[in-house]
């Protein structure tokens, strides 16, 4: 368990919560654009289509299940890990309920383009808060500690999620490509600028 002094935790909570909420908003923008999602969200959407549950509920349920994978990998859970598995899905559902139907191509492409940027801003804030890794990130780092290169672990996990999602009917398109190409550099850009503690 990742434990910090309570004053430090309280000081970092606004960045954590705002970051997680922004992450969910970014997902919702891409869902409403209907031009393709990131690998994990292709999976979430596919399961949502299969079960009839909202994509936000599936995001939350998946996150909570993935956290169980921390146990054999001996990864530390923080308050950020738990809130990640709860807040992002709620934010995605709330935002989807508030957004109007995006009918014109201009609005759909704008939402698709903005989605990964908003997700990266959210990532920079919640990762930079240092209150625990997200469930999916923790699995990646846990595998890396056991000798698997980080990029290989990430690639294998996201490819698996993507393929299952495609089989289940998740949305793949230009948005998927934009997410895959843009999310790494975007997160690096915003993490450097939004971290509470300076990063190299």
Which string of DSSP letters, residue by residue, matches 23-56? HHHHHHHHHHHTS---HHHHHHHHHHHHH---HH
pLDDT tens profile 61-79 = 999 999 888 888 888 889 9
Q: What is the pTM of this model?
A: 0.90
pLDDT tens profile 131-155 = 988 888 778 777 877 888 867 887 8
Q: What are phi and psi of 36, to 5 degrees?
A: 115, 145
Residue 67, helix vs strand vs coil: helix
């Amino acid at each position: 368990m990742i434990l910090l002094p309570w004053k430090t935790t309280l000081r970092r909570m606004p960045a954590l919560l705002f970051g997680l909420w922004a992450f969910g908003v970014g997902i919702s923008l891409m869902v409403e654009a209907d031009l393709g999602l990131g690998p994990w969200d292709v999976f979430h959407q596919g399961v949502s289509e299969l079960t009839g549950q909202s994509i936000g509920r599936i995001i939350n349920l998946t996150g909570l299940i993935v956290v169980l994978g921390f146990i054999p990998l001996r990864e530390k859970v923080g308050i950020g890990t738990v809130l990640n598995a709860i807040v992002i899905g709620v934010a995605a559902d709330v935002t989807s309920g508030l957004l109007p139907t995006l009918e014109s191509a201009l609005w759909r492409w704008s939402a698709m383009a903005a989605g990964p940027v908003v997700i990266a801003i959210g990532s920079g804030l919640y990762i930079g808060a240092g209150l625990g890794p997200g469930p999916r990130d923790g699995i990646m780092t846990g595998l890396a500690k056991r000798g698997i290169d980080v990029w290989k672990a990430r690639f294998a996990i996201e490819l698996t999620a993507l393929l299952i999602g495609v089989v289940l009917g998740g949305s793949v398109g230009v948005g998927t490509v934009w997410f895959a190409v843009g999310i790494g550099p975007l997160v690096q850009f915003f993490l450097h600028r939004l971290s509470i503690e300076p990063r190299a």
